Amino acid sequence: MSLNFTDAMIVELLGGTNKVAKLCQVAPPAVAQWKLRGIPHGQLLFLAAEIEKQSHGLVSRKDLFPKSYHLVWPELAQN
């Protein structure tokens, strides 16, 4: 099952602006901008497994990267 989470919802799911900033080693204002303009691809890739874990699978890495997940996480292609 896939839900359509906004980038702002994803940041909140992961613990909020400050926690995501710390995880990604960026300043909190950068994450605040992501909530408005979108999480950069590289950061989303970095956060994908944690997003899947925190959403209890409602937002999966396959959902986030439907065309390329198998290149990054080959073990998912077997499922």
Phi/psi region, residue 61 (left: phi>0; alpha: psi -120 to 50; beta: rest), is alpha
CATH of the domain at 35: 1.10.260
pLDDT tens for each residue of 26-71: 999 999 999 999 999 999 999 999 999 999 988 899 999 999 999 9
Q: What whole-number distance in Å separates Cα of residue 54 and Cα of residue 15?
A: 9
Identify the DSSP state of 6. -
Q: What is the pLDDT of residue 3?
A: 64
Q: Could you tell me if residue 35 is inside a domain?
A: yes
Q: Does residue 8 carry a pLDDT above 70?
A: yes
Q: What is the pLDDT of residue 23?
A: 96
The stretch 13-20 carries a mean pLDDT of: 97
Q: What is the pLDDT of residue 26?
A: 97
- How many domains does the chain contain in total? 1
**Given pLDDT bands bounded at 50, 70 and 90, which one contains residue 2?**
low
Q: Could you tell me if residue 2 is inside a domain?
A: no
Tokens of 22: 């710390």
Q: Show the domain range for 11.
A: 7-77
* Residues recorded for the chain: 79
Among 57, 47, 40, 45, which residue's Cα sits nearest to residue 20? 47
